[in-house]
Copies of this chain bind each other. A is one copy, B any other.
Amino acid sequence: MTIRVQSSPFDVGAETSDFAAAQTGMGAIVTFTGVVRDLPGDGLERMEIEHYPGMTEKALAAIADQAQTRWSLGGVLIIHRYGTLRAGDQIMMVATASKHRAHAFEAADFLMDYLKSRAPFWKKEYTRSGAEWVASKDEDEAALTRW
């Protein structure tokens, strides 16, 4: 299991390559990459991501542990950035490997749902008209009941 919380960009291609190369006996590899979207209207000047150093790493490791308990997985990778990002920047990625494609897909989907609502990150969006904390969505919390 690899957990990285970093302000610097990551290279999704190199990460995917390295992750795939590190797996043995796995038939299926799924990756998810989250990208900062521009805002309609004013446009996004930048996004600031705040996190809780210490707790963040623990929370992500606990989520990855849960995934490894629920599905038969090889590797699990989670990378999440903090600090200043702009539209088009890659904000985070997860990767899962399993012998079975359904496990790899479900585990990646699960990681994303939990990461959104249980890992201590907060986003603030800056536009020409001001700055606003991104509100959590009821649907994100509701998504956890799928698992």
Contacts and interface: CB of A to CB of B under 8 A. Distances in A.
Nearest to A99: B37
A73 interface: no
Given A108-B105, A112-B101, A28 B17 contact: no
Chain A residues touching B, range: 20 to 34
B30 A31 contact: yes
A83 interface: no
Interface stretch (A19-27, A52-60, A118-126, A127-135): A19-27
Q: Is the interface of A mostly helix, strand, loop or mixed?
A: mixed
Given A13-B13, A13-B14, A105-B108, A35 B30 contact: no
Contacts of A88: 24
18 contacts: A12-B16, A12-B17, A13-B13, A13-B17, A13-B18, A13-B20, A14-B17, A16-B33, A20-B33, A20-B35, A20-B90, A27-B37, A28-B35, A29-B33, A30-B33, A31-B33, A105-B105, A105-B108
